[in-house]
Structure 1
Amino acid sequence: MKEGFRQSMAWLHTWSGLLVGWVLFMVFAAGTASYFKDEITFWMKPELHAPAARAQVPQVQAAEGAVAYLQKHGAGSPRWFINLPAERQPSTDVLYLATPVQGAPPGDKPRRRFERVSLDPATGEALTAARATRGGEFFYRLHFDLHYMPALWARWIVGFCAMFMLVAIFSGIVTHKRIFKDFFTFRPKKGQRSWLDAHNVTAVLALPYHLMITYTGLVTLMFMYMPWAPQVAYKERGGEQAFFSEVFPGGGRDQVKASGNRVPLAPIAPMMAQASAHWNGAAVGRVTVHQPNDANAVVALTRAEGPQLSYDKPSMLFNGTTGALIGAYGDVPKSAAETRGVLYGLHIARFGDPLLRALFFLSGIAGCLMVATGLLLWAVKERQKFAKTLRQGGRIGFGLRLVDGLNLGAIAGLPVAMASFFWANRLLPVGMAERGDAEIRWFFIVWGAAAVLGLLRPTLRMWQAQLAAGALLFALLPVLNAFTGPAPLTVSLRAGPSAVAGFDLVAIALGLGLAGAVWIVERKRRKSMAAKQQAEKKSPASPQQLQQQPSPTLAASGQGS
C-alpha cells in the first residue's frame, strides 16, 4: 500500500470489477428477468392466454383433476409433483417420470425422463396445444448454472464472481469518500467524469440492493461452498443427509421405498382441507406424492407462496393410503434455518406483490448499468494512456482492444440475444422436436455472433448497430405477439391477461431505452469525428497516418474534458 489505503482500495475496486464484469453483467441481466419468470413463461405460451381469462377454480378441484390425469398417464412413476394454479400461474403443472423409452439396446438399463405437462385446472385435461418452452425458467437457471456446462462448475464460477462483486462493492464504498454527495451530481458531456458520475449514481441508487443480492446469492449455495461444518459434525450420524433432515424436517422423503403391495391412493381433498385449516386458511401450493398407489405411499402438501419473507414453506405429510396425518413440519423453524430461508427469500423475491417485484426489477436494471458503466469507465481511462500514440497514427494495445470487444459483445450483444430468444419462441414451429432447446440455441447463436462481431470491429458504428438491433427486436415484440397470439396489447390492456400486457409494455420500455442509447452513441460519434477533423486541420497528417488511424470506439468518444 505504498500509495495509501484509499488508492489501494481504488486499485482493488477496478480490477475486482473488471476481471469478472462480463459474467456479472449476464448474471445481473438474467437474474433481473427472473423476478418475472412466471410471467415470461406465460407470455411464451400464447395458447394459454385465452384459457387464462376463465374464472379461477378451487384448488381442490385442480388437485383432483391433476391426480386423475396422473393416475391415467403416470401410474408407474415413483413420484408425482403437482404445482397448483395461482395468481401468477393459471395452469396446473404436473411432473412425473414417463414410461421407459422403448427400443433400448439389450443389457442397457431402461431410460426414464421427467414429463412436464400443463393442465386445465377446470377439466384436468392436458393443454396439448401449449408449445414446449423453458420460458423464464431459462433465465433463472442461466444466472447461476450458465448452461452448456456442468452445473457444479457453473455454480463455483458464479460464486467466485459474486465474491469479487462483494469486494468491488466494499472497496468502492471506501474509495468514494463523497459517495452520497456524488449521487446527486451528474456532469454530462464531460468525458471520463461523465462515465464516473453515471457509475456512481447507478451504484449508490440501489446500494442496499446490490449488497443484499450479492450476499444472499452466496447464501443460496452456502452448503456447496462451505460443506465442511456439517460433514465434520455429522460424520458419525449419517453425514450431510442427516444434517439436512434435522435442519429441514419433513424433507428427505424422496427415498420412500415401495412395498410392492398395490393400494389405492386416499382422496386428496380431505388432506388439503386439514392442511389449509392448520395453516389458518392458507392455500396449498404444491402436492408431492411419493410411491403413489403403494402401501407405503406418502403425500406431502406444501403451503402456497404468500407475503412471508422466508423461501422455506411449512409442509404436512399424510399417509397416502389412509389419509392420516404423519406430521407437520416447518411451522416453527429453527433460527438458523429461518435465517437462511429469509435470506434465500430476499434473493428471489417470490414474496413480493407486483409493485415490489417491479422495484426489485428496476434495482436489477441499475445493477446492470452499474456493471456496464464500470467496464466502460476502465476502457475510457485506459485509452487516455494511448492518446499520444493515437495522435501519431499508432494503435492501441491488444488488452484494451480485447476489453472494447468484450464490452460490446456483453453489454450490447446480450439484449439482442434475449430479444431473439422471445422471437424464436413465436417463430419456431409449435410441434417441432426439442423445441425448448432450439429456442435456447438461438439465444446463444445470436449472442455468439454479436460477440464475434464486437471483437472483430469494436467501433461506435458496431455499438450503434447492435443497440439498434436490440431496440427494434424488443420494441416490436408486442407487434409479434399481436400476430401470433390471441391477446394483443390493445386487448390485454382492457381485458387481460395482465401478465401479457405487462410483458409487452416492458418490452416497449426496453426498446425505447436501447434506442436512447443509440442516440447517445450517435452524438458521441459525431463529436468524436468533429474533434478528429479539427485536429487534422491544425496538424495535417500524411495519407499513411490517416489510413492507420482506428475508427472511433465508445471508449475513445469519452476522452474529452
Structure 2
Amino acid sequence: MKAGLRQSMAWLHSWSGLLVCWVLFLVFCAGTASYFKDEITLWMKPELHRAATKPVSSAAAVSRAVEFLQRNAADSPRWFISLPDGRNPAVQVLWMRPPGAPASGIGGGRGRFETRMLDPATGAFLQQVRDTRGGEFLYRLHFDLYFMQALWARWIVGFCAMFMLVAILSGIITHRRIFQDFFTFRPRKGQRSWLDAHNATAVLALPFHLMITYTGLVTLMFMYMPWGVQTAYQGNLQAFNSEVFGRAPQGKPSGLATPLTPVAPLVDQAMRHWDGAPPGRIVINLPGDANATVTVSRSGGRSMSADEPSMRFNGATGALVATVGDAPAAAIQTRGVMVGLHEAHFAGPLLRALFFMSGLAGCAMVATGALLWGVKTRQGQARALAAGARPGLGLRLVDALNIGAIAGLPIAFAAYFWANRLLPVATAHRPDAEIHAFFITWAVAAVLAQWRPTRGMWRAQMWAGALMLAGIPVLNAVTTDTHLGVTLLQGQGPAAVAGFDLTVLALGIALGGAAHLLGRRKPAPARRAAPAKGTGMPASDATGAA
C-alpha cells in the first residue's frame, strides 16, 4: 500500500461507519432503551401502577396461574408462566392456541399465542390493563427490526454489527492520540468540533462499545456460523440443543388424558435445590396428557450468565426428570456470560443506568460520525456552494438521511409513548396501532428531510422531538394519577414510573438545548490544519474520521 497504516485505517473507518450508520443508530437507540424495557412496559400500563405490593409466594402465584390456564386454555399444547419480581408486579401467562383456533382478540399475543396479565394474589385476569407491547417492542426492534422476516432482519443487523466492529478497531488504530483527544473539545470550530465530539463519545465508553458489539454477534453466532453444528450433528438441531443446552424436545401427545400434577410442590422443590432462589419462568408442555412435562427455570440476576439453570419434571407424576445448568461446561458458560453481558439481566438499577448512559454515548458516537462525514464533504465543496452551486447528490442524500434518522428517530420514540396514552384502551389491535404510530411518524420525518435537508429542518425536527419528549411527563399527569407530583414528591407508586418521566424529560431538555445551539449564529468554517507529521494528512484527519 502506498498510504500508511493510519491513512488506510482512516479510510476504512470512514466508510465502514458511514455505510451502516443509520441502521446502527436505530439499533443503538432501541437497544439502549431495552436496558429498562420492563420499566418502560410498566409505565405503558398505568393500570398496574397501583397494583398491590403485598408479597405473594412463588408457589401460590404459580398455583393461581395454573388454575386460570386450566379454565381458559385447557386445549392448548403449551403453557408459559412468568412470575412477578421487583420489575414486574403481575403474573404473565402465555399459551399456544391449537391449530385452527381463532384469536380471542383480547389480552394481546402474537401469531398463534395468547397472553394475559393476572393478579398474583388472586389469579384474576387484569382485564382493565391496556394491551401494549411496551418495552418488548423496542427490545425486538433492535435486532428483529420490523415489517420483515426475523431471519433477514437478524442477518442485516449482524452485517451492520460486523461493520461496527471494523469501524471501532480501525478507529482505535487511526486515533494516535486517542486518550489525549478525549479531554479536548474545541467548540464552534466547525469540523474540529464535530471531530472532538466524535472522539470524546467514542472513547468515553470504548470498552462498552467493544463489548456490546462483539457480544451482539455472539448472541446469534449459531445462525451466522452454523456449519460446525450442522456437520457435527448431521443437521439435527434438536440433538444439539438437548446435549449442549439441555433443551428437551416438546414431545408428542400420548392421547391418554391424565391430570396435571400440582405444580406448587415442584416449585418449592426447585427453590430448595437453588438454595432459596425464586423461579422466574415455568413452561408446561402437553398439559393434561400422560406425556406432560413441567420445566421450572430460575429467575435471572443470580449470575452474569444468561443461561439460568432449570429443573424438568414429569407432568403426570411430579417425578424429577432432569436438572440442567447447575455445572455447565466451560464453552457453554463462556457463551452464556457473553450473552448475559449483552443483555445485562444480572445488573442492578445503578449498573443498568451505567449501561444506559454508555448506550447513549454510543448513540452520540454514531450520530457525530455520520454528521462529521457531511461536514467534511461540505467543506470540500465550500467554494462551489459559496458561488451558488447546489450540493452534490451524495452530500444531499447523506444530509437528508442524517436528519431523518438522527432528528426523526426521537420524534418516533416520543410518538410511540404518546400513542400509548392517547389511544382508547379498547382499541382493536392496540399494540399494532402504537407501533404504527412510531413508524408513520418516523416516515413523515424522513420524507420531510428528503424534501428540505436544510439547517432549518434540523432545528424544526429537533424542537419537535424535544417538545414531545419533554411533554410526556405532562401527558402522564393528565391521563393518570401517578404523575411526578405523586411518584417523586409524595413517594407513592412505582419508582420506575418516576424514573421514566425524569429520563424522557432530561432527554427532551438535552435535545432542546441542541436545537437552541443550532439556531445560534452559524460558525465560520474551520481553517485547514497543517499536515500532521509523517502522515501527509490534515491533523484533524490524522486523528480520526466519521
Shared fold (TM-score greater than 0.5)?
yes
**What is the correspondence of 1:79-90 to structure 2 with a 5 Å cutoff?**
79-90=78-89
Once structures 1 and 2 are overlaid, which stretch shifts more, 222-231 or 387-396?
Answer: 387-396
User: 1:21 aligned to 2:21?
Assistant: yes
2:346 matched to which residue of 1? 351
Partner of 2:7: 7
Query: Is the CA contact 1:307–1:352 (under 8 Å) kept in the aligned structure 2?
Result: no
- 2:471 corresponds in structure 1 to 476
Whether the aligned pair in 2 keeps the contact of 1:310 and 1:343 (CA below 8 Å) is yes
The answer on whether the counterparts of 1:276 and 1:282 sit within 8 Å (CA) in structure 2 is: yes
**2:95 is the alignment partner of 1:96:** yes
Cα offset for 1:103? Answer: 8.4
Q: Secondary structure at the match of 1:94?
A: strand
Q: Using the TM superposition, name which of 387-396 and 312-321 deviates more.
A: 387-396
Q: Structure 2 CA distance, aligned partners of 1:101 and 1:233?
A: 37
Q: Relative CO higher for 1 or 2, CA cutoff 8 Å, sep ≥ 6?
A: 2
> What amino acid is aligned across from residue 91 of structure 1 in structure 2?
A
SS in structure 2 of the partner of residue 410 of structure 1: helix
| 1:119 is aligned to 2:115 | no
Cα distance in 2, alignment partners of residues 527 and 212 from structure 1: 38
Which stretches of structure 1, 4 residues or longer, exceed 4 Å deviation after superposition? 99-104
Give the Cα separation in 2 of the matches to 1:491 and 1:46: 13
Match of 1:246 among 240, 243, 252: 243
Aligned position for 2:497: 500
Task: Show CA shifts across 1:109-166 (max 9, x none).
Answer: xx98210100000110110011111110101111011100111111110000000000
How much does 1:283 deviate?
A: 0.5
Report sequence identity in percent: 64
Q: Distance in 1 between matches of 2:165 and 2:322?
A: 41
Partner of 2:217: 218
What is the rounded CA distance, in whole Å, between the counterparts of 1:507 and 1:101 in structure 2? 43
- Report Cα offsets for 1:437-457 as digits up to 9, x if no partner: 010001000000001111111
Instruction: Mark the runs of 5 or more structure 1 residues left unpaired by the alignment.
Output: 105-110, 533-561
Residues 1:260 and 2:259 are matched in the alignment: no
- The separation in 1 between residues aligned to 2:155 and 2:162, in whole angstroms, is 11
Structure 2 residue 288 is the aligned partner of structure 1 residue 289? no
Shift of 1:208: 0.3
| Residue in structure 2 matched with residue 537 of structure 1 by the alignment | none
Does structure 2 conserve the Cα–Cα contact (< 8 Å) formed by 1:300 and 1:318? yes
Amino acid at match of 2:430: R
Give the corresponding residue for 1:371. Answer: 366
Pair member with larger Rg: 1
> 1:40-60, CA deviations, whole angstroms, 9 ceiling, x for partnerless residues?
011101111111x43121111
Separation of aligned partners in 2, 1:486 and 1:119: 22
The alpha carbon displacement at 1:458 in A equals 1.1
Q: 2:508 aligns with which of 499, 506, 511?
A: 511
Q: 2:425, 2:130 → 1: CA distance?
A: 5
SS of residue matched to 1:61: helix
CA distance in structure 2 between the aligned counterparts of 1:512 and 1:288, rounded to whole angstroms:
44
On the 8 A contact 1:98/1:112 being kept in 2, the answer is no
Q: What is the deviation of 1:82?
A: 0.1
Q: Partners of 2:154 and 2:476 in 1: how far apart?
A: 35
Are 1:313 and 2:313 matched, yes or no?
no
In structure 2, how many angstroms separate the alpha carbons of the residues matched to 1:401 and 1:144?
29
Residues 84 and 285 in structure 1, CA contact (< 8 A), matched pair in contact too: yes
Q: Does 1:434 align with 2:429?
A: yes
CA distance in 2: counterparts of 1:233 and 1:80, whole angstroms: 32
Question: 2-side partners of 1:272 and 1:527: how far apart?
Answer: 65
Per-residue CA deviation, residues 375-426 of structure 1 (Å, 9 max, x unaligned), is 0000010011111101211111010000000000000000000000000011
- How far apart, in 2, do the equivalents of 1:391 and 1:79 lie? 68
SS at match of 2:402: helix
CA distance in 2: counterparts of 1:488 and 1:277, whole angstroms: 41
Residues in 2 aligned to 1:425 and 1:252: alpha-carbon distance in whole angstroms: 39
Q: Within 5 A, what are the aligned runs for 1:444-463?
A: 444-463=439-458
| Counterpart in the other structure of 1:552 | none
| Mapping of residues 51-62 of structure 1, within 5 Å | 51=51, 53-62=52-61
Partner of 1:451, secondary structure, is helix
Of stretches 301-310 and 360-369 in structure 1, the one that deviates more from structure 2 is 301-310
> How do 1:225-236 and structure 2 match up within 5 A?
225-235=224-234
Give the TM-score, by structure 1 length.
0.90
CA distance in 1, matches of 2:251, 2:499: 43
| Paired residue secondary structure (2:84) | coil
Cα shift at 1:99: 5.8
Q: Which residue of the other structure, out of 394, 416, 421, is the alignment partner of 1:421?
A: 416
The amino acid across from 1:387 in the alignment is A
Contact 1:49 1:486 survives alignment (8 Å): no
1:522-533 alignment runs, 5 A limit: 522-523=519-520, 526-527=521-522
Residue segments in structure 2 that go unaligned for 5+ positions in a row: 104-109, 526-546
1:355 and 1:162 mapped to 2: Cα distance?
Answer: 27
Distance 1:391 1:497 in 2: 56
